[in-house]
Amino acid sequence: MLRATLRPLVLALSAASTVLGAQSSKPRTNVGRPTEKSSVATPATAGFSAERLARIDRFMQSYVDDDKVAGAVGLVLRNGRVAYEHAVGWSDKEAGRRMTTDAIFRIASQSKAITSVAIMSLVEEGKIAPTDPVSRFIPAYAKTTVAVRSDTGVAIVPAKRAITIRDLLTHTSGISYGTDGSVARLYEAKGLGPAAGFGWYTADKDEPVCTTMERLASLPFVAQPGEAWVYGYSTDILGCVVEKVSGMALDAFIAERISKPLGMVDTYFFLPTDKRDRLSAVYASSADGSSIARAADGARGQGQYIDGPRRSFAGGAGLVSTARDYARFLQMLLNGGELDGVRLLAPKTVQLMTTNMVGSLYANAAGTEGVGFGLGFETVDRFGANGLSSQGTFSWGGAYGSNYRVDPKEKLVIVFMVQQIPNRTDLAAKFPTLVYQALTGIPSF
- Which pLDDT tens digit goes with each residue over 361-394? 999 999 999 999 999 999 999 999 999 999 999 9
pLDDT in tens, 20-39: 233 333 443 334 455 444 57
Instruction: Please give the Cα distance from 318 to 329 (Å, whole number).
Output: 16
In a domain? residue 325: yes
In a domain? residue 395: yes
CATH number where 342 lies: 3.40.710.10
Nearest in space to 441 (alpha carbons), one of 86, 80, 79: 79
pLDDT at 8: 41
Q: Estimate to the nearest angstrom the gap between the alpha carbon of 206 and the chain centroid.
A: 24
In a domain? residue 329: yes
> Looking at the annotation, which residues are catalytic?
109, 112, 231
Longest Cα–Cα distance of the chain, Å, equals: 65
User: pLDDT grade, residue 4 (50/70/90)?
Assistant: very low
The total number of residues written for the chain in this structure: 445
Please name every residue paired with 292 in a beta bridge, in sequence order, or none if there are none. 285
In a domain? residue 267: no
Domain carrying residue 415: 3-102+318-437
Q: pLDDT exceeding 90 applies to what percent of the chain?
A: 90
Nearest in space to 131 (alpha carbons), one of 172, 162, 165: 165
In a domain? residue 174: no
In a domain? residue 358: yes
Q: What is the C-alpha end-to-end distance of the chain, expressed in Å?
A: 43
In a domain? residue 48: yes
| Count: domains in the chain | 1
In a domain? residue 114: no
Distances (CA, A) of 352 to 129, 182, 394, 396: 14, 34, 12, 16
